[in-house]
């Protein structure tokens, strides 16, 4: 496995021999990518938590940008990983700008995206319009972020979305959760610590392909679930747990 890991920076460091014995050094873009890879490897060594993932051929398929590494500059570099399929962005200090976020739509094979941010506001279409362009996206995780009806409507434009998690936000509630029914292929929905209650159970039961629903930390009670149309249609997790105040 270590050989595969080393093959990534090694491939970027290879230089082509030209006439006269001269060699080409990595250009500015390659140098920036090498800097990011080196930085993430240093972070891995410090925390012992993976920040890079690889396939069997040594291609980078997973990148985690967390804390001070979650910057506009680094997000703009992500499309340069030609086999990237999974991205995690956790930026508790400064939100990624909509302009930098738009770079994610240039990742050709992106299937899984996780966004954890205590301050980012996903309301409107500034961020959602980018997500709507990622036709390969199958799994989306959003946590500690404000959402609204416009943002939720953009998610319905993702044809391959099967797994959706919107957690720890009071801006997802009974009045707007029904919009997600427009995600016709949705199979798993995680609403942990949102503001939904028993009032939305019939709506959730109408989601055409939903197989798994997580509602721990919400206002949805176990008693109401047992009497709802959810029974026999999908697996419901967490309804018996006490509600948590949404972030």
Q: How far apart are CA 28 and CA 7, in angstroms?
A: 20
pLDDT at 189: 98
Residues 6+ apart with CB under 8 A from 14: none
pLDDT at 51: 96
Q: Is 83 exposed, middle or buried (0-12, 13-18, 19+ CB in 10 A)?
A: middle
pLDDT over threshold 50, residue 2? no
pLDDT over threshold 70, residue 7? no
Q: 1-157: what fold?
A: 3.80.10
pLDDT in tens, 169-205: 999 999 999 999 999 999 999 999 999 999 999 999 9
pLDDT at 22: 47
pLDDT at 67: 86
Going by C-alpha positions, the residue among 195, 197, 158, 199 that lies closest to residue 180 is 158
pLDDT at 137: 98
């Amino acid at each position: 496995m270590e050989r595969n890991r080393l093959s990534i920076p090694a491939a970027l460091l290879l230089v082509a021999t030209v006439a006269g014995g001269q060699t080409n050094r990595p250009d500015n873009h390659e140098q920036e990518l090498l800097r990011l890879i080196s930085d993430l490897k240093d972070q891995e060594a410090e925390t012992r938590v993976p920040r890079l993932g690889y396939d069997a051929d040594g291609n980078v398929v997973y990148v985690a940008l967390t804390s001070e590494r979650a910057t506009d500059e680094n997000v703009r570099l992500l499309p340069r990983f030609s086999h990237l399929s999974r991205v995690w962005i956790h930026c508790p200090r400064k939100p990624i700008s909509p302009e930098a976020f738009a770079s994610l739509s240039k990742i050709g094979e992106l299937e899984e995206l996780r966004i954890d941010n205590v301050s980012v506001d996903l309301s409107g279409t500034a961020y959602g319009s980018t997500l709507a362009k990622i036709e390969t996206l199958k799994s989306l995780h959003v946590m500690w972020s404000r959402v609204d009806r416009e943002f939720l409507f953009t998610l319905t434009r993702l044809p391959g979305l099967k797994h959706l998690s919107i957690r720890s936000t009071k801006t997802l509630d009974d009045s707007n959760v029904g919009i997600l029914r427009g995600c016709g292929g949705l199979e798993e929905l995680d609403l942990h610590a949102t503001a939904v209650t028993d009032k939305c159970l019939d709506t959730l039961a109408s989601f055409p392909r939903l197989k798994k629903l997580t509602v721990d930390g919400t206002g949805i009670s176990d008693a109401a679930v047992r009497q709802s149309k959810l029974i026999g249609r999908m697996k419901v997790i967490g309804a018996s747990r006490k509600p948590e105040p949404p972030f």
